[in-house]
């Protein structure tokens, strides 16, 4: 940190008892810890306009205080006070210096406070990835719990598929991910906590002949067109849906792929087909779409929170703590 002082003195300012040399111009003054103390001494004298009272306020003797002020004036090559036996007054330069020094010390105090708050995880950014279905299940609760704990942390949210989250965790582009399990870990070690397990439901157009049924067998949909997650995703929800079809020996007629569940529901509303979705997606009420449970048992869709193993920044630790406070979580070892 550097304090820059530039200037020349008026003729009357050179006629003091301290025989200051004429100042150089465009010089740079580095501020050390000792010199910061000098600045506080200067403020005390400037506010008291009395060396005895200033010394008492600073809990020090007057002669050392007077010497410190002389040292400061010599260092910056500016006379800050007009001194006589009867009074002490700020020079014009001293008044300007007082204003700037007060600003400087306030900024230093603010910088120290900001650093301390950042070290406690109270301020700063947290980057989170999340799957689309988390929007309708765990994400609102997670965010609310974390907001209550750290209201001034800046959240940077990214809607991503599970493979995209794994990649961005590996590349340190996000701090944590809210994703589907299971996941294939090859080049990155993660710490993972499971926060939700749920079944699946079938989304159908509200005009569908089976709309009046409370439960539907998957076999009753053998002639229906299905909107499915892309096979290239190869993990999470896609694997669970594929497992369900294998267990029920059901071969769906795929008509369209959709990465995001909201897109799947929009396609169902448009009459393109039907879709298997996590049960929590029923919180997404869309005109033209209804949800029905399946007669056949469905695999569990599992949502977890993952972060890089061994990484516990103060902000991330607050996020993890908020998860444990508001969810019955299970730490997974993968």
* Helix orientation angle between 33-48 and 62-76, rounded to the nearest 10 degrees: 110
Residue range 132-137: mean pLDDT, rounded = 86
Read off the pTM. Answer: 0.66
> Which run of H or E residues covers position 239?
helix 237-247
Which pLDDT score is estimated for 235?
Answer: 63
Write the pLDDT tens digit of every residue in 176-207.
Answer: 999 988 887 766 789 999 999 999 999 999 99
Which pLDDT score is estimated for 3?
Answer: 40
Which pLDDT score is estimated for 331?
Answer: 53
Confidence bin at 232 (pLDDT 50/70/90): confident
Write the pLDDT tens digit of every residue in 39-49.
Answer: 899 999 999 99
By the 10 Å C-beta count (0-12 exposed, 13-18 middle, 19+ buried), 304 is classed as: buried
Cα separation, 123 vs 77, whole angstroms: 41
Residue range 241-262: mean pLDDT, rounded = 91
Q: Which residue has the higher pLDDT, 28 or 276?
A: 276
Residue 91 has pLDDT above 60, yes or no: yes
Q: Please tell me what DSSP assigns to residue 122.
A: S
> Of the given ranges (114-128, 164-178, 304-318), which has the lowest mean pLDDT?
114-128
Output phi, psi for 158, to 5 deg. Answer: -135, 120
Q: Residue 254, CB half-sphere, CA atoms under 13 Å: how many? A: 11
Write the pLDDT tens digit of every residue in 143-187.
Answer: 999 999 889 899 999 999 888 999 999 999 999 999 988 887 766
Distance of CA 34 to the CA centre of its chain: 36
């Amino acid at each position: 940190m550097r304090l820059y002082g530039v200037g020349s003195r008026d003729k009357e300012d050179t006629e003091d008892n301290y025989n200051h040399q004429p100042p150089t111009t465009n010089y740079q003054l580095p501020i050390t810890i000792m010199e910061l103390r000098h600045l506080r001494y200067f403020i005390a004298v400037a506010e008291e306009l009395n060396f005895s009272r200033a010394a008492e306020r600073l809990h020090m003797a007057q002669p050392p205080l007077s010497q410190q002020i002389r040292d400061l004036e010599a260092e910056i090559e500016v006379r800050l006070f007009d001194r006589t036996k009867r009074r002490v007054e700020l020079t014009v330069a001293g008044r300007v210096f007082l204003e700037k020094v007060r600003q400087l010390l306030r900024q230093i105090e603010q910088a120290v406070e900001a650093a301390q708050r950042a070290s406690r995880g109270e301020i700063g950014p947290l980057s989170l990835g999340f799957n689309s279905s988390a929007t309708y299940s765990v994400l609102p609760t997670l965010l609310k719990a974390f907001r209550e704990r750290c209201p001034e942390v800046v959240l940077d949210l990214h809607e991503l598929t599970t493979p995209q989250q794994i990649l961005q965790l590996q590349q340190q582009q996000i701090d944590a991910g809210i994703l589907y399990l299971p996941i294939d870990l090859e080049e990155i070690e993660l710490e993972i906590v499971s926060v939700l397990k749920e079944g699946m439901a079938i989304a159908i157009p509200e005009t569908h002949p089976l709309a009046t049924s409370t439960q539907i067998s998957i076999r009753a949909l053998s002639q229906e067109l299905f909107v499915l997650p892309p096979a290239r995703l190869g993990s999470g929800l896609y694997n669970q849906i594929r497992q369900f079809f294998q267990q029920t020996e059901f071969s769906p007629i795929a008509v369209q792929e959709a990465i995001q569940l909201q897109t799947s529901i929009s396609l169902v509303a448009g009459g393109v087909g039907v879709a298997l979705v996590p049960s929590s997606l029923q919180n997404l009420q869309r005109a033209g779409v209804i949800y029905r449970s399946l007669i056949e048992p469905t695999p569990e869709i599992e949502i977890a929170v993952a972060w890089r193993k061994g990484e516990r920044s103060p902000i991330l630790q607050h996020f993890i703590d908020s998860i444990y406070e508001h969810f019955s979580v299970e730490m997974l070892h993968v």
